[in-house]
Structure 1
Amino acid sequence: MSTNPLATDITHILTLKDGRTLCYSTHGASGSNPAELPTVFHFHGFPGSHHEGHAVHKAALTHGLRIVSVSRPGYAGSSPEPKRTISSFAFDVLELADHLHIQRFAVLGISGGGSYAVGCLLKIPADRLAGTMVVSGMYPTSLGLSEMMLSNRFIFNLAPWAPWLIGYLFDSSIATAAQDVAHPERLKETLAGGFKSMPAEDRRVVEADGGTLLDIFTTSMREAFRDGSAGAAYEAALFGNPWDFELDQLPVRTGELVIYHGGKDIHVPLRMAREAVARMNGAQLLVEENEGHTLGFCKTDEIMGKLRQMLVKD
């Protein structure tokens, strides 16, 4: 039986200039002057929370990286922002970086968090953003949703027109389990049941190490839905609507945008990643043909190594 790997995690809260709160946690390397450590801002999946950053803790520690994992508006104590866009989250990241006295950093977006990592390229100045990594990322639905699993297609097609209905569906399923304090084991059982229908590649990653990753996902989801489903519903609509920028607008600098994607990913099919990369001149696509959507959790050492190369020039 696995123990909770997040038992010692600490949630930090920043009050932003506009009065909203932003919740985050730190992982990986630490020291007497953390602002001097090579730092990566980590963006969780959809839905999720900053607790997901714990999944890269060991690899980040090995590579001497400090990870700052951030919960987006509407999740895990971070205040809702009803006017936010994909790229506007970059301003929250910049404000947090200033608060932590971090001048230059990289960003890592996993799954749904990949959209926001890409948005940072547009809004964060080049002298501050050392590099961008997207792993199993979500891309504009205008690229088409063919080959994507049916439930995701349903969510992203419906959310722009009826986000309230998506919220209701979340509330009647995973959010109910997440908020069931009398039976906290219910959420883990729900997530474990969902993974049973996933490709074998994803099940292998989730079940490894005594189910540690499942524990992390459970905490991430519990916190994501602790205040209800509005944050997840709003984000689903953001993904399903046209984004606030075009991929060919991005100022991609050689070697500073690396995209990992699994050949057996059914959450976001490889076809979408290939078409997105074709529009982002200068992006590097690394395909792991025999991995699924959980690619980012079985290649953490390699990913952290590439992020360190972006941040620490020999």
Structure 2
Amino acid sequence: MNAHQPNNKTFNKTARAVLFFIGLLAYAYQNTIPPPPNLCGSSHGPPVTGPRVILRDGRHLAYHEYGVSRDTANYKIVFVHSFGACRYDESVYHPELFEELKIYMVAFDRPGYGESDVDPKRTIKSFASDIEDLADKLELGSKFYVISYSMGMQGGWGSLKYIPHRLQGVALISPVVNYWWSSFPTNVSWEAYKLQPLQDQWAVAVSHYVPWLVYWWNTQKLFPGSSVIAGRANLSSSDREVLAKSSGQRSPTPIPSLKDYVRQQGLAESIFRDMRVGFGKWEFDPMKLENPFPNNEGSVHMWHGDDDWVVPVNLQRYIAKKLPWIHYHELPGVGHALPKYDPNKEAILKSLLLGEN
């Protein structure tokens, strides 16, 4: 036998090692691919239980209306719900004030949530187009208000960038911040980033740098994924207290479980897509936006609590300094669940609609 020729035993060991490595790679790759979404209205998917509009690209957007009728309303609002929520999010709904001021509001399931069709190509720009389409389908008029909460900031900032001509005013409530927006000095964004639990630092970094791993990262069992997705968000004691008080106050909805409804089409195109879009590479930097209301024909408001442990307040302070045309409201002792603290609902609505401080 040639001295340089491997014997059968060595060859077999090498072959088995190679095959094992290939199998491991195949297994790992397979686990990065999420299952296909369980589309609403499909033969095996969840049923469609409420009204939906058809968008310009043929997708459906499910919505829910609050307040007075569109025909009698003095103010028309599009509300963009938070991370892991849906069209039944009543964060800013105040029945008495809606009736008094004649406010109409429409909230909608963001793409992939609830009963709205998925949008695997979703961007901040396409999402702004969804908002504009919804307003046109419901005939809200040439201009309307947008209120966005937490991760719903994609709709708030997107509207300011892409459809400012359609806006009467915008309110951003406890808006999530992308640590990689270019205007942030490294020390500012890094300081805020390090305030997050280690598992959330990793989850956010994966969403930004290797978005194709988001599904695997948050479903594997080797180490913890996002605490927010797992239902163990890094909430302040003030948040926990106010949420405990309001836990039994939610108005009844036509669905038995909000969590199940939110995720019924699958995680990949709802909350995981949110992570990829919210913390991914944006097409623009919000801190470079121009004032959409140079003649004071409308206003933009940002609301944030200084006890918010989910989105560090120093980031909002920096944004407010970069964009002095934003009316910045910082509330002491208030956390991320800002609308649930009395009387913040009234303050948010009256500042946006009536110009009250």
TM normalised by structure 1 equals 0.79
* CA distance in 2 between partners of 1:264 and 1:215 (Å): 29
Comparing 151-160 and 288-297, the one that deviates more: 151-160
Comparing 103-112 and 147-156, the one that deviates more: 147-156
C-alpha contact (below 8 Å) 1:159/1:236 kept by paired residues = yes
Query: Does structure 1 residue 13 correspond to structure 2 residue 52?
Result: yes
Q: Secondary structure at the match of 1:258?
A: strand
Partner of 2:330 in structure 1?
Answer: 287
* CA distance in 1 between partners of 2:155 and 2:322 (Å): 17
Deviations 1:198-251 (A, max 9, x none): 3221112212245335988x9543322111111211220112222111123323
Partner of 2:196 in structure 1?
Answer: 148
Question: Which protein has the bigger helix share?
Answer: 1
C-alpha contact (below 8 Å) 1:52/1:220 kept by paired residues = no
Partner of 1:182 in structure 2?
Answer: none
Matched ranges for 1:1-314 at <5 A: 11-30=50-69, 33-34=71-72, 36-53=73-90, 56-58=93-95, 59-103=97-141, 104-126=143-165, 128-142=166-180, 143=184, 144=189, 145-163=193-211, 165-168=213-216, 170=218, 191=231, 194=232, 198-209=235-246, 211-213=248-250, 219-231=257-269, 232-252=271-291, 253=293, 254=296, 256-298=299-341, 299-309=344-354
Q: Give structure 2 stretches of 5+ with no counterpart.
A: 1-48, 222-229
Distance 1:166 1:219, change over 3 A: farther
* CA distance in 1 between partners of 2:290 and 2:283 (Å): 15
* CA distance in 1 between partners of 2:140 and 2:247 (Å): 36
Cα deviation for residue 40 of structure 1 reads 0.9
Distance 1:152 1:43, change over 3 A: farther
Q: Secondary structure at the match of 2:124?
A: coil
* CA distance in 2 between partners of 1:54 and 1:292 (Å): 14
* CA distance in 2 between partners of 1:153 and 1:215 (Å): 36
Taking only the aligned residue pairs, the percentage that are identical comes to: 24
Distance 1:267 1:149, change over 3 A: farther
C-alpha contact (below 8 Å) 2:235/2:310 kept by paired residues = no
Cα deviation for residue 16 of structure 1 reads 1.2
Please tell me the residue identity of whatever aligns with 2:242: V
Please tell me the residue identity of whatever aligns with 2:206: L
Deviations 1:35-79 (A, max 9, x none): x44111111111221111365242534542111112211111211
Task: Answer 1 or 2: higher relative contact order, Cα 8 Å, separation at least 6.
Answer: 1
Comparing 248-257 and 278-287, the one that deviates more: 248-257
* CA distance in 1 between partners of 2:155 and 2:140 (Å): 19
Task: Give the greater-gyration-radius structure (CA).
Answer: 2
Distance 1:53 1:167, change over 3 A: farther
Cα deviation for residue 100 of structure 1 reads 1.1
CA RMSD of aligned residues (A): 2.9
C-alpha contact (below 8 Å) 1:248/1:281 kept by paired residues = no
Partner of 2:9 in structure 1?
Answer: none
C-alpha contact (below 8 Å) 2:305/2:331 kept by paired residues = yes
| Number of residue pairs the alignment of both structures matches | 280
Please tell me the residue identity of whatever aligns with 2:78: F
TM normalised by structure 2 equals 0.70
Deviations 1:138-181 (A, max 9, x none): 122224223234443332111234445433455579xxxxxxxx
Distance 1:171 1:300, change over 3 A: farther
C-alpha contact (below 8 Å) 1:107/1:117 kept by paired residues = yes
Comparing 47-56 and 255-264, the one that deviates more: 47-56
* CA distance in 1 between partners of 2:175 and 2:68 (Å): 25
Please tell me the residue identity of whatever aligns with 2:345: T
C-alpha contact (below 8 Å) 1:63/1:305 kept by paired residues = no
* CA distance in 2 between partners of 1:292 and 1:112 (Å): 15
* CA distance in 2 between partners of 1:243 and 1:28 (Å): 34
